[in-house]
Structure 1
Amino acid sequence: MRFIIQRDRLVQSVQDVMRAITSRTTIPILTGIKIMVTEEGVTLTGSDSDISIESFIPKEEDGNEIVEVIESGGIVLQARFFNDIIKKLPTDLVEIQVSNHLQTIIRSGQSEFNLNGLDPDEYPHLPQITEGNMFSIANDLFKTIVRQTVFAVSTSETRPILTGVNWQVENDKLTCVATDSYRLAMRKIQIETNNPAEYNIVIPGKSLSELSKILDDSKETVDIVITDNQVLFKSKNLLFLSRLLEGNYPNTSQLIPTHNKTEMIIDTKEFLQSIDRASLLARDGQNNVVKLSTLENNHIEISSNTPEIGKVIEQLKSKSIEGEDLKISFSPKYMMEALKVLEGTEMNIKFTGAMSPFIIQPTNDDSILQLILPVRTY
């Protein structure tokens, strides 16, 4: 195997596939990057069994030569060393050559490295997915969906199913839900599918986060193929394969209140900044909570009291308050994380009492919903 490649493109592809590689694998060869060279170009693969990422670098793109293929072949190189080496090579072109005994020479300018490689035939084969059931989402919309949901997944392994995001496809509508049982994030979008199939799957939050970091913000699309236990994301020159979480996701629709006792419309940025200030004193306390109370003339009071540190009180004017007077306590961290992903200058908060979950939505947009459970203090 021997080829010459533009260093920047190689570095970018290696960075992408490195997201699937972990040093904590029980299969030693998976600590490496698989490199396969054909007449079409170079394919890099990284995997930790749960996530597999394949990045293809074509011979040429837009009339520019990216790879000069001298001899086809393959090799598996230790990912950590290979990544560190190519990032620090001195020139824009890199030559990689493999000899009979898997000895790999990496040349750039006056620099030459020798690495011991592994047999690519021993690298586990990625599962083959037939592309029957597929739909597409624009890259920027996909990244938005992930940003608005994945923060609410559970970080505890006591209920593994909650470490993923529930994707439901029904009647050309995709509903994404994440919950850690203390708060919930939901986003809905319309999609176009090539068949009327319905799906109810749970994708690990880690998989969605890693893919979101790789995709750019363009209007190009990512194709999504769902099978019984895997989901495949296909973007330009990239394949991202993730296992699905096993088990039944809880029926979260029952958690969302259908009526409310108190409803307010408030400026999103002002409210977020007020909660942020109130949390300054609550952050180190044992009871990390912020209290909200309704006052007269559409005013609300945001307060926090940590006896060993001090207290803070602030008043805000809302656009409107309807319904019963209210005193409620909640986690400022959960509230701020919910507010930061809302789109729109104003939001609607609907309360069903001091000890019931409340929902937050942008005004005039029901495609996104955040739900938070209050904290008992009153």
Structure 2
Amino acid sequence: ELNRIFTVLKDDVEAPDYVLLEFSANQVIFKYGNVELISRLIEGVYPDYRQIIPKDFKTEALVDKNELRQAIKSASLFAKSGLFDIHLKFDPDKGEVELFAADSGRGENRVALKADIQGISNEITMNYRYILDGLGAIDDEKIKIKVIDGASPCFFEASQKMANENFFYIVMPIRS
């Protein structure tokens, strides 16, 4: 998984002047300094990810990334074990995104974040770990969250598009 590769490249070694990449039929090799990192490539045809990218959203929220991350971490303590579920409720009238998680053995957590919300009220339940992974890859203070409904993919992106940056992140919902 690329996140693990980038973690190794980033944390364990002083930044090299260059990285040598070698490819074989089923592996990619990263060589830099005295480090050699080998990763197995996925076999088969990579799925067309564009098919799951929503086109028309019913709700769009602009929230502070660090506040969202902190709220998710707080709520995650109360998410159901094994499901890692967190519920997001978008309320344009209040200008809030409410995060909620509950577990019968641990209790519940509810946090409301101020947000600039366009569109209709909406709700979605997702795995909080996947949301946190995406937030870590977005280099912006504000995050756009775009939702169709609770059964469709949720779209995350930076509030400001940087030059040559087309990064976005999709999290599939958990159906409850």
Please indicate the TM-score interval, normalised by the length of the shorter structure.
0.7 to 0.9
Q: Which blocks of at least 5 consecutive residues in structure 1 are unaligned?
A: 1-148, 152-204
- Note if 1:346 corresponds to 2:145: no
Q: Deviation per CA, 1:273-308: give whole Å up to 9, x if none.
A: 111111112254x65321111222311211122233
Tell me which of the two structures has the higher relative contact order, counting C-alpha pairs closer than 8 angstroms and 6 or more residues apart. 2
Q: CA deviation at 1:241?
A: 5.3
Q: 1:255 to 1:216 in 2, by over 3 A?
A: farther
Q: 1:235 to 1:312 in 2, by over 3 A?
A: closer
- Note if 1:217 corresponds to 2:69: no
Name 2:132's counterpart in structure 1: 336
Equivalents in 1 of 2:159, 2:124: separation in Å? Answer: 22
Q: 1:232 to 1:299 in 2, by over 3 A?
A: closer
TM-score norm. by structure 2 comes to 0.81
Name 2:63's counterpart in structure 1: 266
Equivalents in 1 of 2:153, 2:35: separation in Å? Answer: 41
Name 1:233's counterpart in structure 2: 30
Equivalents in 1 of 2:34, 2:101: separation in Å? Answer: 51
Equivalents in 2 of 1:266, 1:291: separation in Å? Answer: 16
SS in structure 2 of the partner of residue 321 of structure 1: strand
SS in structure 1 of the partner of residue 155 of structure 2: strand
Name 2:160's counterpart in structure 1: 364
Q: Is the 8 A contact 1:287 1:306 kept in 2?
A: no
Amino acid at match of 2:43: E
- Note if 1:374 corresponds to 2:170: no
Q: Is the 8 A contact 1:302 1:313 kept in 2?
A: yes
Equivalents in 1 of 2:38, 2:174: separation in Å? Answer: 39
Amino acid at match of 1:217: A
Q: 1:337 to 1:210 in 2, by over 3 A?
A: closer
Q: 1:279 to 1:234 in 2, by over 3 A?
A: closer
Name 2:99's counterpart in structure 1: 302
- Computing the radius of gyration over CA atoms, which structure comes out larger, 1 or 2? 1
Q: Deviation per CA, 1:151-190: give whole Å up to 9, x if none.
A: 4xxxxxxxxxxxxxxxxxxxxxxxxxxxxxxxxxxxxxxx
State the aligned residue count: 171
Q: Which blocks of at least 5 consecutive residues in structure 2 are unaligned?
A: none
Q: 1:243 to 1:329 in 2, by over 3 A?
A: closer
Name 1:321's counterpart in structure 2: 117
TM-score norm. by structure 1 comes to 0.41
Q: CA deviation at 1:326?
A: 0.2
Equivalents in 1 of 2:53, 2:34: separation in Å? Answer: 40
